Structure 1
Amino acid sequence: MSTPYYFYRNNGFLMQMHIDVIALLEVNKNYVRFFTKHGQVDIRTTLENALAQLPKNHFIQVHRSYAVPFNQIDRIGKDSLFIFADPNLEIPISRKYYKELLKHIKIIGPDLLEPDQTDENIEL
């Protein structure tokens, strides 16, 4: 069983962050910004390293600068997605990660969202 919480350094303290409060990971120069239900936390690491330490079945990288927890995904378009924590924030999905994302989600009915599909009026 994986640990449901992680610790990070902040002003000389080890601070606890529960995995279920993480809504988004974003690269910010030499840091990864963790967007949580309680605010933002910048941790000096790479996105690759952060994802290696978090449960693989909980998070997925969708762009070179973004990763999201599966339980936060609200809507997926052909080149972006939206999360429950901020329904107006459009997070880009690169072609490289789009197909991998589709492999990890369950789609009821036909697979309607091919990356090179141009019809904007797709009903899900």
Structure 2
Amino acid sequence: MEKGARILIVEDDMIIAANISLQLGNLGYEVTGIVTRGEEAITHTKENAPDILLLDINLKGNLNGIQTAKAIQQFKDIPVIYLTANTDEVTFASAKETKPKAFITKPFNKLNLQRTIELVADQLVEKEEAVKTELSDMEVLGDRVFIRHNGKMEKLLLEDILYIEADRNYCTVVTKNRNLVLSCTLKTMLERLPNASFIRVHRSYVVNISKLDVIADGHLEINRKVIPLGKSHKEFLFKRIQTI
């Protein structure tokens, strides 16, 4: 990944964009494209799935760079590196909301660009390796899941899982009889479990829909455990329940 990262350049100054593209190519990176408008960046990202977004904050058109990043982050988890000649506090505070990996101030030099891209590419590699490790700790087979616990893979029937609670990079799988702790993110857990049975209801909780005992305005209950119901997840939960 480090030398093979695929990068989209979003810059409305074509001279600057061409210079960046040339430098990235010389460093061994693949430039998936150069676009000048936020709308074009959104379409390109959907169609080409770049690994890194190199994005000018002060884009012309209907969407500036920050608005473009927010729109893309709605459908893709992608690291953002901002290019900017504007470093005022208001712009910086707004850009921080998108959690960028770095800022490169114009005019920039080749070494600054190289080091910034290398750092972000290294983080991508580390993230991929972490995901591979997480996936090796859990294997879903039909109606059951095998979870690594105390050095061995233990079987759990999916129907026995009540809910999953996350604490940073650890997840606790809760059943009536026992709890199993995994070194795994909640996002990874949810991606492996069948969508028909499990749903995220809070940033820290995934529940087995069939195990719900109480559904209240701001919380759920499973086996007397009170689980918070996030506002952003409430509507989706109700839609899912109506289809069951």
Asked if these proteins are the same fold (TM beyond 0.5), I'd say yes
| Range with bigger deviation, 98-107 or 53-62 | 98-107
Tell whether the 8 Å contact from 2:149 to 2:180 is kept in structure 1 after alignment: no
| Range with bigger deviation, 71-80 or 4-13 | 4-13
How big is the shift at 1:98?
A: 0.4
The structure carrying a bigger helix percent of its residues is 2
Q: Which of 6, 24, 29 pairs up with 2:163?
A: 24
How big is the shift at 1:53?
A: 0.5
Residue 102 in structure 1 maps to residue 238 in structure 2: yes
TM-score norm. by structure 2 comes to: 0.41
TM-score norm. by structure 1 comes to: 0.78
The 2-side partners of 1:43 and 1:93 are apart by 23
Rg (Cα) greater in structure: 2
Q: How many residues are paired up?
A: 103
How big is the shift at 1:37?
A: 2.1
| Correspondence 1:39-118 to 2 at 5 A | 39-83=178-222, 86-87=223-224, 89-106=225-242
Structure 2, unmatched stretches of 5+, are: 1-140
How big is the shift at 1:75?
A: 1.3
How big is the shift at 1:102?
A: 0.8
- Relative contact order: is structure 1 or structure 2 higher (C-alpha 8 Å, sep ≥ 6)? 1
Matching residue of 1:121: none
Q: Deviations over 1:2-43 (max 9, x none)?
A: 611111112221111111110010002321100012210001
Structure 1, unmatched stretches of 5+, are: 108-124
Tell whether the 8 Å contact from 1:21 to 1:38 is kept in structure 2 after alignment: no
Tell whether the 8 Å contact from 1:5 to 1:18 is kept in structure 2 after alignment: yes
Q: Deviations over 1:74-108 (max 9, x none)?
A: 1111110111xx22x2110010000110110129x
Percent identical residues: 31
> What secondary structure, in the 3-state scheme, does the structure 2 residue paired with 1:42 have?
strand
For the aligned residue pairs, the C-alpha RMSD in angstroms reads 1.4
